Amino acid sequence: MSAVVRPRAAGFRKGLNRGVLAVALATALGGLAFTAPALAQQADAAATQASVDIPYESFTLANGLRVIVHTDRKAPIVAVNVWYHVGSKDEPRGRTGFAHLFEHLMFNGTENFPGEYFEPFELVGATDMNGTTNSDRTNYFQNVPTTALDMALWMESDRMGHMLGAVDQKTLDEQRGVVQNEKRQGENQPYGQVWTKLGEAMYPEGHPYHHSVIGSMADLNAASLEDVKTWFRAWYGPNNAVLVLAGDIDVETAKEKVSKYFGHIPAGPSMAQPAVDIAERTESTREVMEDRVPQARIYRLWNVAQTGTRDIDQLQLLAQVLGRSASSRLDQRLVHGDKLADGVSAGAYASQLGSSFVVTADVKQGVEPERVEAIIEEELERLIAQGPTEEELAQAQTVLRAGFIRGVERIGGFGGKADALAECAVYTGDPGCFRETLDNIASATPADIQALGEQWLSAGDHTLVVVPGERTALPEDPAVTPAALELPPVDPDYSTVPTTVDRSEGVPQISEFPELSFPELQRATLDNGTEVILAERHDIPVVQMSYEFGGGFRADQGAALGTSSFTMSMLDEGAGEYGPLEFGDRAESLGARLAAGAALDGGNAYLSALKSNLDDSIDLFAEMLRNPRFDPAEIERVKATWIAGIKQEKARPNSAALRVLPPLLYGEGHAYAMPFSGSGTEESIAGLTRGDLLEYHADWVRPQDATLIVVGDTTLEEIVPMLNRHLGEWEGVGEAPTVQPVARVERPEQPRVYLIDQPGAVQANLFVGQLMPPTGAPGETTLDMANEVIGGSFTARLNMNLREDKHWSYGARSILTNAQGQRPWLAVAPVQIDKTAESLAEIQREVSQYASGEAPPTDAELAKIQANEIRSLPGAYETASAVLGTIGGIVRYDRPDDYIARRTARIESMTPAQIAAAAEAIDPNAFTWVVVGDLEQIEQPVRALNLGEVHVLDANGNPVADNEPAAD
């Protein structure tokens, strides 16, 4: 559960390979992340509509609930997506944050189901389950097996029609605490105060967008139980909602089931929506703010046309040309030409009352931000004066078209087909408004784009420059008593139907579940010796492939740390006849996505190609693999950006901890003793030479002993000749290096605690780690399940303790990542700073009691994990990317083709005693703790816990000389 906040900050576009573990942790912790509106990435051509569409049928219940049905039989799952037309724009002064607070409250059980809302969904294997709030709407969504649709509709209708009796003071206090920790978690990041400042600058006081989605601490603290209940009565009736059912469902079934579960719920008052108010500005304004950031960042914003208009649709194209494309105007000038910025971006972000056009730039250290600001202005003025070229516009249209095609593969989740239909219905009343968006983009001319720039981007901008310095907490006005919310009468035309559901019987129980049908793995061998593994998926005209190589972070042992990641990232920075800009242009003109990266035990190169341009896309892919240019000037440019990215890693508490943990767990000199991101250090990257890159490429990017995984709309008969034409003659040079086994490491004899100072932090980020047997070792699956009990899911013990019971954290998780050597087990929790020691003690207690057998896994915990692991499989493989990832694991860890079936059978046969025995592998007496926080506030309480010998480290993992505790 998380707020959907304003657009994400710019970083350099390619960035560092953050590694599987870092990405998994970021996801598990539910950090604040911008999710672009479903239409923001959509496409252009009328031809696309003919081949890739979202057909739907709709109906409205007598109580006003609008229902949209899209049938997609590719998997036995149904996406259930409910949008309520209420967001932070609807909050009165003095009660900011109410919409987001209520999003959390609606996950805390109902009158007829008082438990955690996630529990029944976990038991049926739901996937893509979450809720989000933004300025304009609140949504709840989940994908469930087709046989569990009744359960999902029962649950959604129960929180729509039977919620208020379950909201008591205890629940309100609990979720208020969780939300406040979510707020702290966002503000604790570098640049974390930006969007609060920008909202206040762009919209005058009293405008619905003036305040942030998450609201103020004072207002959250002032919220009374009656305030909350009145808010619910006002906004969460069926006539203010849209329900989308997409997937293995038809309209007749939908009518019967939706009427059964929702038809009895009375309509709510007819609440008025605020009038469109773009808040057009005529003056340019500028502000500078200090923050604990590694480099200056520029934000430049304009208020532009609202969602559902031709202008906002076509402004997507202007943004693409200006700063979103890999070879955009700003990229060419600031990143590649003058080399004044490490990254730039531009975007048009649609909202109901008025939208935002945003340009961001990360300024290189040592460069005055004013120089970058001046160039942004020059390039914008030139684009407005001349308009884009025909070629630029066509390329932008192709990129958006390809984005739409890829987006409609998913039926649910963030930005899937259900989201697109709901967004259109809520904001325009037409579920198919995306078709008009496609037309608007396809029909745009250079003159249209030029005119839009002149109209919207010539005046009224605001620039915020964040520079390194001390952070000052943003002041909050004291809460005021809002005016009484007078609810208008319910429209008498709404009516209900008698219910046939006896809710006293509880949630419908599901006894039958669909089985996973994993695609057959077909094999062939290319002329160059590479094995091809194909899994056919014909639901969208896209083909994805991943060339799996050896090497990886472990190959950096004895060399410069980061060599593997840096080399792989340079493959698409120019190849053959293409320089980096030309390479990006060629990829975008084909609607293709190409990338390469490294992980602990190997590297891979990736291609996603439109079926219509498959041959040409493979040609470019082959050029990237065989003939990377590694131009010295480009190496130096990317080095500077890469080093800036390392500094960004060290400024963020989570990634700072993940940089220092591996050397502590594995010991200096070990193949895995490096930042989990694989990014290396400033010194190691600065010392890289072109020869180092050429050597790594020759050693590890070679067709012999490699595997090419292909998933998508093709066949072996089609793809193998095409691959041979472009790659068949490719040969590696010389002998491949010998892969040294990863050394085994003994656990420490005593627990250890390491503190990293983050002055002024409002949260502490807690990590505890320990090494476990490698992926593929005996008992691997049982150990995975043991981790699930303690911290692998929302309802696992750590999260239920620190978030739901104590509300000291926005989320606590544990994770086991894959590795050919010993793999790390980590538990992690960001907690409010004044509960650092208490939270450490709770983690130690929970894990110790679990691992020792004092609090063994219960039958109910095992049943929940078994159900979720097995029943979620049909939904887990909804996308080709998920299939591609699993096949990648089969290749990397030498698993059998039927690995999923074998793992499923193993999980089905598990007993609590087996999981308890596996949990004994966790030894709290050999833990390594890392805590990132304000040392002045946390050091003495942590030392007093006596968890282990305490050391203070800097951001590089080096001991701080004066780290003795102060004398009493």
Q: What is the pLDDT of residues 779-788, one digit of tens each?
A: 999 999 999 9
C-beta atoms surrounding 768 within 10 Å = 25
What is the DSSP-derived secondary structure letter of residue 877? T
Would strands 127-133 and 138-145 be described as parallel, antiparallel, or unpaired?
antiparallel
Would strands 707-712 and 531-536 be described as parallel, antiparallel, or unpaired?
parallel
The conformational region for residue 582 under phi > 0 = left, psi -120 to 50 = alpha, else beta, is alpha
Give me the residue label for tokens 């915020």. Answer: 464
Joined together, the tokens standing for residue 692 give 């180092």
pLDDT at 860: 94
**Distance (Å, whole) CA 192 – CA 291:** 9
Q: What angle do CA 468, 474, 478 make, to 5 degrees?
A: 175
Residue pair 91/211 in contact (Cβ under 8 Å)? The answer is yes
Task: Give one DSSP letter per residue of 380-401, joined into a string.
Answer: HHHHHHH---HHHHHHHHHHHH
Starting from the edge strand earliest in sequence, which strands make up the sheet with 928-933, in order?
813-816, 823-832, 763-772, 928-933, 752-757, 949-953
**Distance (Å, whole) CA 875 – CA 319:** 34
Of 1, 944, 157, 202, whose CA–CA distance to 500 is shortest? 157
The widest CA-to-CA distance across the chain, in whole angstroms, is 82
What is the DSSP-derived secondary structure letter of residue 617? H
Residue 944 CA, distance from chain mean position: 37
Q: What is the CA radius of gyration of the chain?
A: 27
Q: How many residues does the chain have?
A: 968
**Distance (Å, whole) CA 422 – CA 139:** 9
Of 795, 884, 200, whose CA–CA distance to 542 is shortest? 884
pLDDT at 2: 52
Joined together, the tokens standing for residue 454 give 């002149």
Residue pair 79/72 in contact (Cβ under 8 Å)? The answer is no
pLDDT in tens, 371-392: 999 999 999 999 999 999 999 9
Residue pair 241/160 in contact (Cβ under 8 Å)? The answer is yes
Of 654, 831, 567, whose CA–CA distance to 17 is shortest? 567
Task: Give one DSSP letter per residue of 807-823, joined into a string.
Answer: --BS--EEEE---SSPE
Joined together, the tokens standing for residue 817 give 């990542």
**Distance (Å, whole) CA 193 – CA 199:** 11
Give me the residue label for tokens 């030409």. Answer: 337
Would strands 297-304 and 355-363 be described as parallel, antiparallel, or unpaired?
antiparallel
Residue pair 476/96 in contact (Cβ under 8 Å)? The answer is no
Of 963, 573, 889, whose CA–CA distance to 709 is shortest? 889
**Distance (Å, whole) CA 288 – CA 370:** 11
Beta bridge partners of 676: none
pLDDT at 962: 58
Which residues, in sequence order, are CB contacts of 861 under 8 Å at separation 6+? 789, 912
What is the DSSP-derived secondary structure letter of residue 570? G
* Phi, then psi, of 257 in degrees rounded to 5: -75, -40
**Distance (Å, whole) CA 799 – CA 30:** 12
Q: Enter the pTM of the model.
A: 0.91
Query: How far is the CA of 738 from the CAs of 561, 604, 699, 806, in angstroms?
Result: 19, 19, 10, 51
**Distance (Å, whole) CA 107 – CA 710:** 39
Task: Give one DSSP letter per residue of 257-320, joined into a string.
Answer: HHHHHHTTSPP---PPPPPP------S-EEEEEEES-SS-EEEEEEEEPPTTSHHHHHHHHHHI
Residue pair 545/535 in contact (Cβ under 8 Å)? The answer is no
**Distance (Å, whole) CA 848 – CA 689:** 48
Residues of the chain where predicted confidence (pLDDT) is lower than 70: 1-51, 962-968
Of 348, 169, 161, 300, whose CA–CA distance to 239 is shortest? 161
**Distance (Å, whole) CA 269 – CA 606:** 52
**Exposed, middle or buried, 128 (CB in 10 Å: 0-12/13-18/19+)?**
buried
**Distance (Å, whole) CA 751 – CA 101:** 39
**Distance (Å, whole) CA 335 – CA 327:** 10
C-beta atoms surrounding 192 within 10 Å = 21
pLDDT at 20: 34
pLDDT at 27: 36
What is the DSSP-derived secondary structure letter of residue 801? I
Give me the residue label for tokens 């700003």. Answer: 330
pLDDT at 51: 55
Dihedral sign computed on CA atoms, order 530, 535, 538, 543: negative
C-beta atoms surrounding 906 within 10 Å = 16
Residue pair 664/928 in contact (Cβ under 8 Å)? The answer is yes
